[in-house]
């Protein structure tokens, strides 16, 4: 079963928010990849202004959430070989850039790139088992 490609967008701005201030998303009429996107994260605690899609990552596997220390949970994404190579090049060229992994016009995770990623894996972390489950389900959604 193929997993839908995972869009990556640059974060132009982010600020704390409340669920009632998050813009509505309409999966039936998605924002075009070349357009900016204003949306929230899964927890609806941060509103993001995102630039156009930088790349789409092909995923071969999404691991079920695993528990880390002190209430954190991790979901590991495995990239297909072309995406692993493209992500390694992208992360090397965009050190310290703030990017967002987006699904259904919601931000799954918005890390700052600290170092080049050459492992072909991306680890997303959350603070609850429920959020980790939702993250894994959304990230691994079939194409």
Contact 100, 110 (CB under 8 A): yes
Per-residue confidence band for 126, with pLDDT thresholds at 50, 70 and 90? confident
Beta-sheet strands, E only, within 1-143: 6-16, 37-40, 46-50, 55-57, 59-62, 66-67, 73-79, 99-103, 106-109, 121-126
Please provide the average confidence, as pLDDT, over all residues in the chain: 93
Contact 102, 124 (CB under 8 A): no
Confidence (pLDDT) at 15: 96
Residue 133 to residue 128: CA distance in whole angstroms:
9
Contact 102, 117 (CB under 8 A): no
Per-residue confidence band for 22, with pLDDT thresholds at 50, 70 and 90? very high
Confidence (pLDDT) at 1: 72
The structure's pTM equals: 0.92
Confidence (pLDDT) at 45: 94
Q: How large is the average pLDDT for residues 120-143? A: 91
Per-residue confidence band for 17, with pLDDT thresholds at 50, 70 and 90? very high
């Amino acid at each position: 079963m193929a997993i839908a490609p995972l869009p990556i967008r640059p974060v132009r701005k982010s600020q704390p928010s409340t669920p009632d201030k998050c813009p509505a998303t309409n999966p039936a009429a998605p924002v075009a990849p070349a357009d900016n996107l204003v949306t929230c994260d899964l927890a609806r605690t941060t509103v993001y202004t995102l630039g156009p899609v930088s790349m789409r990552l092909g995923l071969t596997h999404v691991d079920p959430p695993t528990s880390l220390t002190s209430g954190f949970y991790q979901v590991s994404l495995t990239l297909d070989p072309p995406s692993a190579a493209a992500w390694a090049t992208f992360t090397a060229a965009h050190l310290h850039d703030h990017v967002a992994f987006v699904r259904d016009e919601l931000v799954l995770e918005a890390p700052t790139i600290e170092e080049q990623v050459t492992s072909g894996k991306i680890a997303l972390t959350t603070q609850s088992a429920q959020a980790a489950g939702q993250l894994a389900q959304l990230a691994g959604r079939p194409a």
